[in-house]
Copies of this chain bind each other. A is one copy, B any other.
Amino acid sequence: MLKRKSAREDAVAAIARVFLDHGYEGASISRLAEAASLGRSSLYNHFPEGKPDMAASVADLAADEFGRLVIAPLREQGSPAVRLGRAIAGLEQFYHGGANSCLIDHFSVPDAVEATPGAAHGMAEAALAGFETLAVSAGAKPASARARAERALVELQGGLIVSRALGRKSVFKNALARLPSILLDLPDPGR
């Protein structure tokens, strides 16, 4: 089921980078239009509800991509370690090795929450659920799996923030490298 990209989908992909780089408030219509190689007005043909519409579309795209690159591999066949390895490769791609900042963060400010209610919350919960599933299938008990998933998500988000603040992608890479021990290493496997 290959679907040809619509013009709107092209626009969403183009403007996503602006929200990523500048945050919701910093993503002005002018910047968005320039990124999409369109006039300001032309954007409103693709997004009749204006900026909230654009932000919601970007959030949807990000959720889709995250699902495809990270969540799906976690639920595929293979040992937990192999599945996590594929998800980590997906994370590197999704975040461009730490160069991307995360929408969860940018979409958590009040004005963005008002425009796209539940977007940040939903992305965070989706990631949490994916990691939790992996931890369970690695043998963790429910409560432990939940805690491990939370730690993994914290590690990921923190890695992105600190990486960007310090201008060192290695921080994000190091965070990725810690995921296996967080999600897979069970201190008392037999318990």
A residues neighboring B (CB under 8 Å): 21-26, 101-102, 104-105, 108-111, 120-121, 123-125, 128, 147, 150-151, 153-159, 161-162, 164-167, 171, 174-175, 178
Contacts and interface: CB of A to CB of B under 8 A. Distances in A.
B121 A22 contact: no
Q: Which of A24, A128, A161 is most buried by chain B, counting CB atoms within 10 A of its CB?
A: A161
A25 to B, nearest CB: 4
Contacts of A124: 162, 165-166
Contacts of A156: 158
A102 B161 CA distance: 10
Given A26-B110, A154-B175, A157-B158, 18 more contacts: A21-B109, A25-B25, A101-B108, A102-B161, A105-B105, A108-B164, A120-B165, A125-B166, A147-B174, A151-B174, A154-B154, A154-B158, A154-B159, A154-B171, A156-B158, A158-B158, A158-B159, A161-B161
B121 A166 contact: yes
Contact of A153 (B23, B105, B158): B158
A157 B150 contact: no
27 contacts: A21-B109, A21-B110, A22-B25, A22-B109, A22-B110, A22-B111, A23-B23, A23-B109, A24-B26, A25-B26, A104-B162, A104-B165, A105-B105, A105-B165, A108-B161, A121-B166, A123-B165, A124-B166, A125-B166, A147-B174, A150-B174, A153-B162, A154-B155, A154-B158, A155-B155, A155-B158, A158-B158
Contacts of A123: 165
A29 to B, nearest CB: 14
A22 B110 CA distance: 7
